[in-house]
DNA sequence: GCCAACGTTGGC
DNA sequence: GCCAACGTTGGC
C-alpha cells in the first residue's frame, strides 16, 4: 500500500466533479511528465491512497481523499489531434503516456498549501519542496497518517 | 501577469 | 554528452 498526492486544476476536474462522476471515478488523463508517468506505471497499485490536490486556483491545497482504482493504461488523449494533450510523437503501438482511474472517497476541508507549510511533520513532503512541480508525488505513510488526523 | 524553477529539445 | 534556448508549471 502506497500513498500519493495528485494535482488537478479544479477548473478541469475538481473533487466535486470526481464525486459526481459515475462510480465516483475519473480517468486521470493529461499527465505529460515522465517521472509522474513512471509513478503511475511502476509505483501505483489499486487501493493506494490519494490526496486530491487543487492547483492553479485561488486557494491551492488538499481538497479531498481518493484512491487508485486501476492499473496504468494508455491515455487516449495523446492520439487525439484536437486534444490539448495531443502528442504527435506517440504511436498507438507504443503509447508514451499512461493514466490511471482515480476513485474519489470524500471531500475534506480545504487544507491549503499555506497551512501545509506550517506543519513540521510535513516538512519533507515532496510537493512542499522548493521548485516542486510534479503533478504526482509520493507521500510517506507517516505523512499520510498526519494528514488523516488533520482531515478527520 | 510575473517569474522562479524545472523539463525537454536539438545543435554541435 | 553538453548545454543554451525554449516551453511549462504553478504559486503569488
Task: For A69-82, write each residue's pLDDT tens digit.
Answer: 999 999 999 999 88
Band of pLDDT at residue A88, cut at 50, 70 and 90 = confident
In this structure, the number of other CB atoms found within 10 A of the CB of residue A145 comes to: 13
Which nucleotides on strand B sit less than 7 A from a protein beta carbon?
4-9
Residue with cell 521548485: A131
Specify the DSSP class assigned to residue A148. H
Q: How far is the CA of A149 from the C1' of C2 (A)?
A: 48
Which nucleotides on strand C sit less than 7 A from a protein beta carbon?
8-12
Please name the residue ranges forming H helices in A39-140: 113-116
pLDDT tens across A101-113, in order?
Answer: 999 999 999 999 9
DSSP string, A44-109: --TT-EEEEEE-SSSS-EEEEEEEE-S--EE-GGGG-TTSTT--TT-BTTB---EE-EEEEEEEEE
User: Which CATH topology does A3-142 take?
Assistant: ph1033 like fold (3.10.590)
> Are A150 and A111 spatial neighbours (Cβ–Cβ below 8 Å)?
yes
Q: Which helix (H) or strand (E) holds A19?
A: helix A15-20
Q: How far is the CA of A109 from the C1' of C3 (A)?
A: 45
Distances in Å between the alpha carbon of A143 and those of A2, A65, A73, A125, A149? 11, 14, 28, 7, 10
Query: How do beta strands A3-8 and A49-54 pair?
Result: parallel
Supply the pLDDT for residue A58: 93
Which nt is closest to the CA of A33, judged by C1'? B7
**By three-state DSSP, how is residue A46 classified?**
coil
Amino acid at each position: 500500500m502506497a500513498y500519493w498526492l495528485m494535482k488537478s486544476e479544479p477548473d478541469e476536474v475538481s473533487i466535486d466533479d470526481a464525486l459526481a462522476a459515475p462510480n465516483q471515478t475519473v480517468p486521470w488523463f493529461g499527465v505529460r511528465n515522465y517521472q509522474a508517468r513512471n509513478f503511475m506505471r511502476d509505483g501505483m497499485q489499486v487501493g493506494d491512497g490519494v490526496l486530491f490536490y487543487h492547483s492553479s486556483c485561488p486557494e491551492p491545497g488538499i481538497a479531498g481523499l481518493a484512491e487508485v482504482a486501476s492499473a496504468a493504461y494508455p491515455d487516449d488523449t495523446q492520439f487525439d489531434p484536437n486534444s490539448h494533450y495531443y502528442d504527435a510523437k506517440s504511436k498507438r503501438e507504443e503509447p508514451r503516456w499512461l493514466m490511471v482511474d482515480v476513485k474519489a472517497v470524500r471531500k475534506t476541508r480545504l487544507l491549503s498549501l499555506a497551512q501545509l507549510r506550517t506543519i513540521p511533520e510535513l516538512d519533507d513532503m515532496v510537493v512542499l519542496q522548493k521548485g516542486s512541480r510534479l503533478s504526482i508525488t509520493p507521500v510517506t505513510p507517516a505523512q499520510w497518517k498526519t494528514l488523516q488526523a488533520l482531515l478527520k
